[in-house]
Amino acid sequence: MRRQLLIWSVAVIGLLIGTGTAWAHNVLVNSDPVNGSSVAAGPAKVTLKFDLPVQQSFSTVTVLGPDGLHYEGGPSQVDGNSVSAPVNPLGAAGKYTVGYRIVSDDGHPVSGSISFTLTQAGTGKGVPAAAAQPEGDSADSQDSESGGIPAWPWILGGVLLVAAGAAFALRMGRGSDD
């Protein structure tokens, strides 16, 4: 009975997709500069675009240079699905990492990074991390994180369902084949 296996597979996949959207956070879909790109001159600002609206509070964007110094030029601004931050003139040529930490549409914090390469050194000078950090930001961000619901019970539940479905389908198949 192959059909049983098929039905179970479809049911389990459907369930996983269903719970998947239930715990889905915002996902970065685009950026300017594009992740992995090379630029000859430093951008005046960086923009990160997500698939869902970003909440106004607690969003931070940092630009870290190859010299370990920060080049973000001020606090980030949220506009719908996008978060942008002004960028100071860049310094040394090399890889710049744009780190982000946002509060997603469902209230969960989402963080990650993209990078781009500056091919020609600019005239700018970065600042050390401590000076670049917006005041009181880290404490606020941690508060928002503690309110999140962990995803692991859902993942564990999904894994158990798949296992149960597979075992059931195998037993059904074996019984009818014999």
Residues contributing to the site for Cu ion (CB under 5 A): 25, 106, 108
Tell me how crowded residue 150 is: count the other CB atoms within 10 A of its CB: 8
Q: Which is nearer to Cu ion, 25 or 101 (CB)?
A: 25
Q: Look at the chain and count its residues.
A: 178
Minimal distance, residue 165 CB to Cu ion, in Å: 26
Minimal distance, residue 154 CB to Cu ion, in Å: 11
Q: Which is nearer to Cu ion, 23 or 43 (CB)?
A: 23
Minimal distance, residue 15 CB to Cu ion, in Å: 18
Cα(160)–Cα(37) distance, rounded to whole angstroms? Answer: 42
Minimal distance, residue 98 CB to Cu ion, in Å: 22
Q: Which is nearer to Cu ion, 32 or 105 (CB)?
A: 105
Q: Which is nearer to Cu ion, 23 or 73 (CB)?
A: 23
Q: Which is nearer to Cu ion, 19 or 113 (CB)?
A: 19
Q: Look at residue 40 and give its three-state secondary structure.
A: coil
State how far the alpha carbon of 136 is from the alpha carbons of 3, 68, 74, in Å.
58, 22, 14
Tell me the residue ranges of DSSP E strands in 6-108. Answer: 28-32, 38-39, 45-50, 60-64, 77-79, 82-86, 94-103
Q: Is 175 exposed, middle or buried (0-12, 13-18, 19+ CB in 10 A)?
A: exposed
Minimal distance, residue 26 CB to Cu ion, in Å: 8
With CB atoms as reference, the residue minimizing the distance to Cu ion is 108
Cα(54)–Cα(112) distance, rounded to whole angstroms? Answer: 14
